[in-house]
């Protein structure tokens, strides 16, 4: 297969490595192609600039659209997720046989601790969720054989915000009511995309998260203990939101197996790696 990863960042590079090992040709499109993994055919382009998309390869039969906004403001989101999608789709020489669109569980605006599934109506509360949902709707109107993947928070060896937070002196975090959080290890995120790219008859929508939605306080408490530091102070915030719990059963039933089914397994592996790196330095 000839596969274009549009927005080939850290998840894309892990995915590309596995696809290359499978024997596929992988194109990586991004503004700075110097960070692409070895073996990926670089396409230096800016999704917000149609002139840079004028000479896309004509043999692309699989597309994975997973760009990263230049910043976390509304204009940056609109530029890459809305205009970027329009620009890339209009620049393709032919429609891909299958398109994977990377979205987010932020399209669900719920914050009452309830469980969300693929059947839960999306009601985004913030601009990021609204624009991602708009991108999904745009792509649905363009692409045949479209698969939308809504990821929860992706963490990994280079994405350690909660590890740092848990180790910070004086860390305070909502404990009551519990605020549920959801996550997926970066290796599993890449593996999800490979699985759905190669699956014979995928459905149109999947939620991608690990098996264990968990209150943020419990995650930070565990991370603090694992690092041998003081546990965070739990706060009682009676009127605070409670997040949501992402159900991954549809993905599981498609045959996908997680390497890191919960945060203890995933963060445990990262902490072990950090410890080994510290000893080797």
Cβ contacts of 112 within 8 Å, gap of 6 or more: 241, 242, 244
Note the pLDDT tens digit of each residue in 108-157.
999 999 999 999 999 998 999 999 999 999 999 999 899 999 999 999 99
Note the pLDDT tens digit of each residue in 23-52.
999 999 999 999 999 999 999 999 999 999
Confidence of residue 279 (pLDDT cuts 50, 70, 90): low
Among candidates 95, 203, 206, 109, which has minimal Cα distance to 141? Answer: 95
Given a contact cutoff of 8 angstroms between Cβ atoms, the answer to whether 99 and 88 are in contact is no
DSSP string covering 196-227: HHH-SS--SEEEE--S--EEHHHHHHHHHHHH
Across the chain, which distance is largest between two alpha carbons, in Å?
Answer: 57
pLDDT given for residue 4 in this prediction: 98
For domain 2-157+183-212+245-260, is the CATH number 3.40.50.720?
Answer: yes
Note the pLDDT tens digit of each residue in 183-223.
999 999 999 999 999 999 999 999 999 999 999 999 999 99
- The yes-or-no verdict on residue 281 having pLDDT over 60 is no
Q: What is the rounded distance in angstroms from the CA atom of residue 230 to the CA atom of residue 232?
A: 6
Q: What is the rounded distance in angstroms from the CA atom of residue 181 to the CA atom of residue 166?
A: 15
pTM tops 0.85: yes
Among candidates 129, 130, 128, 102, which has minimal Cα distance to 207? Answer: 102
Task: Tell me what percent of the residues of the chain surpass a pLDDT of 90.
Answer: 96
Confidence of residue 280 (pLDDT cuts 50, 70, 90): low
Quote the mean pLDDT of the chain.
96
Confidence of residue 277 (pLDDT cuts 50, 70, 90): confident
């Amino acid at each position: 297969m000839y596969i274009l990863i549009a927005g080939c960042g850290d998840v894309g590079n892990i995915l590309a490595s596995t696809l290359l090992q499978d024997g596929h040709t992988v194109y990586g499109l991004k503004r700075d192609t110097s960070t692409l993994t070895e073996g990926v055919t670089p396409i230096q382009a800016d999704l917000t600039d149609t002139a840079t998309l004028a000479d896309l390869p004509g043999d692309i039969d699989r597309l994975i659209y997973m760009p990263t906004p230049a910043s976390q403001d509304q204009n940056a989101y609109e530029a890459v997720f809305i205009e970027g999608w329009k620009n890339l789709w209009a620049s393709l020489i032919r429609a891909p046989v299958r398109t994977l669109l990377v979205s987010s569980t932020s399209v669900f605006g719920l914050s009452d601790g309830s469980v969300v599934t693929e059947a839960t109506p999306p009601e985004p509360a913030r601009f990021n969720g609204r624009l991602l949902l708009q991108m999904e709707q745009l792509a649905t109107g363009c692409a045949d054989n479209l698969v939308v993947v809504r990821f929860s928070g992706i963490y990994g060896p280079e994405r350690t915000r909660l590890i740092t937070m848990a180790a910070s002196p004086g860390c305070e975090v909502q404990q009551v009511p519990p605020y549920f959080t959801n996550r997926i290890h970066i290796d599993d995120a890449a593996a999800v995309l490979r699985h759905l790219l190669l699956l014979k008859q995928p459905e149109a929508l999947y939620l991608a998260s690990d098996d264990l939605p968990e209150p943020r306080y419990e995650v930070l408490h565990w991370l603090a203990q694992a690092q041998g530091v003081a546990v965070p102070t739990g706060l009682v915030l009676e009127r605070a939101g409670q997040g949501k719990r992402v159900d991954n059963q549809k993905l599981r039933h498609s045959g996908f197996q997680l390497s890191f089914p919960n945060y203890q397994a995933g963060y445990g592996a990262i902490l072990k790696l950090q410890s080994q790196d510290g000893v080797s330095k």
